[in-house]
Structure 1
Amino acid sequence: MGVRVRQAERRDRDQVVRILAEAFHHDPVSCWVFPDEDHRHAVHGRFLGVFADVALEEGRVDLLEDGTATALWLDVPAGPPEEDDTPALMRETADPDNERAELVGRLTGAVHPHDRAHAYLLMIGVAPGHQGEGIGEALMREVLERCDREGTPAYLEASSARSRGLYERLGFTFTGRTVELPEGPPMWPMWREPQAR
């Protein structure tokens, strides 16, 4: 698939957040965090903007030039993680009275592996009208090829059975321990060993 990808800059933040908000509006985890659809529509962009800010500042944000998809990556070093206030910031920024807005970050952080350095796909979003066209796979290809060349594993959390299937096709495998959101959907932590080309 011939997609043109560029690295986003700070000036692209609003576009990145818009793509993520549209892509995740009906995602099972987003629906659990913000059960009321009107409320989700009002606060979801602020919530996802925290992820965009972290990736723009500390990682890499890939953006399709036509504005249909974006992927947020972080390089995670080996060793004990530094204290992370991102979950609290997610809640404070988006929905201070909603403990789920913080809990989802705490629960995913608790299962995140730290024994080996890896590329972490924090989020990938494809505009709803373009999902299922192979855009997500094409958007991830450059980073995964770099991982393969450099011998670096990759990690992510799948938030739906559909996305889990995509990641499995790209060489990710379920780690065996789901993230259990209280009275909510499961999330599947997935790991990908570098692959020989």
Structure 2
Amino acid sequence: MGVVIRTADEGDRELVTRLLDEAFQDDPVSVWVFPDAAHRRARHPGLMGMFTEVVLAEGRIDVTEDGTACALWLSVPADAGHAGHADDEDDDPVRLREAVDPDNERVELIGRLTAGIHPAGRAHEYLWMIGVAPGRQGEGLGTALVRSVLDRCDREGLPAYLEASNADSRRLYERLGFDVTGRPLDLPDGPRMWPMWREPQPGRGA
């Protein structure tokens, strides 16, 4: 049986935040942002909640019908800045830091660094995050969520973009047609992130 996917709404805010928190607690980038485990457990849910709020307002969140996986997408227009947003939103990383963890410079820095490598000049779909409940990983739920949007990209001739935060996810995205684009982002004293781009594949999404 296929994976049933629906579009999340405001009623799913807590569900999505919890999924992202559980899925990314031990992710290399989250550990870099919040090196202390106890501090991460306290502050990480707030960061995931802010991400959820942004994408509910500006993009689209897909959720599996059983509530065990979600994917956060933004549609980036061709005239957007490197961050995928208008230039007047350059203060977003500052506001994020102030809301989540005011004394933690890395909350702001991760936003600025990923914005700096985000491709500009072509409209595309941006996979911001994808989270799968720890007990359900490896079942193909994340792949199903991503493929549903990539099929639409193929039909509409749209490229897609993401940043892979670990080597395992990079390999998954490569199987889905993404290629590393530009130079990897090496976080200061931290892990590597891979910017990945996928050109539309005519005929796949028909």
For this structure pair, what is the TM-score category when the shorter chain's length is used for normalisation? over 0.9
Tell me, yes or no, if the aligned pair for 1:50 and 1:89 is still in contact at 8 Å: no
In the alignment, is residue 166 of structure 1 matched against residue 179 of structure 2? no
CA distance in structure 1 between the partners assigned to 2:99 and 2:105 by the alignment: 12
Q: Counterpart in 2 of 1:141? A: 147
Q: Counterpart in 2 of 1:154? A: 160
Q: Counterpart in 2 of 1:29? A: 29
TM-score when normalising by structure 2: 0.93
CA distance in structure 1 between the partners assigned to 2:80 and 2:30 by the alignment: 28
In the alignment, is residue 115 of structure 1 matched against residue 132 of structure 2? no
The residue type equivalent to 1:171 in the other structure is: G
CA distance in structure 1 between the partners assigned to 2:137 and 2:55 by the alignment: 22
Task: Give the deviation of 1:80 after TM superposition.
Answer: 4.3
The residue type equivalent to 1:130 in the other structure is: R
Task: Give the deviation of 1:92 after TM superposition.
Answer: 1.3
Q: 1:40-189 alignment to 2 at 5 Å?
A: 40-81=40-81, 82-83=86-87, 84=89, 85-189=91-195
Q: Secondary structure at the match of 1:50?
A: helix
**Post-superposition, which runs of at least 4 consecutive aligned residues in structure 1 deviate over 6 A?**
none
Percent of residue pairs bearing the same amino acid type: 63
The residue type equivalent to 2:17 in the other structure is: V
CA distance in structure 2 between the partners assigned to 1:59 and 1:29 by the alignment: 23
CA distance in structure 1 between the partners assigned to 2:93 and 2:50 by the alignment: 9
Moved more, 130-139 or 101-110: 130-139
The residue type equivalent to 1:111 in the other structure is: I
Q: Secondary structure at the match of 2:122?
A: coil
CA distance in structure 2 between the partners assigned to 1:41 and 1:186 by the alignment: 22
Q: Secondary structure at the match of 2:63?
A: strand
The residue type equivalent to 1:13 in the other structure is: R
Give the number of equivalent residue pairs. 197
CA distance in structure 1 between the partners assigned to 2:44 and 2:8 by the alignment: 20
Q: CA-to-partner distance for each residue in 1:101-124, whole Å, 9 max, x for gaps?
A: 110000000010111000000110
The residue type equivalent to 1:90 in the other structure is: L
Task: Give the deviation of 1:89 after TM superposition.
Answer: 2.5
Q: CA-to-partner distance for each residue in 1:44-71, whole Å, 9 max, x for gaps?
A: 1111111111110011000112111100
Aligned CA distance change for structure 1 residues 7 and 80 (closer, same or farther; 3 Å)? closer
Task: Give the deviation of 1:94 after TM superposition.
Answer: 1.2
Task: Give the deviation of 1:79 after TM superposition.
Answer: 2.0
Q: Counterpart in 2 of 1:38? A: 38
Q: Counterpart in 2 of 1:14? A: 14
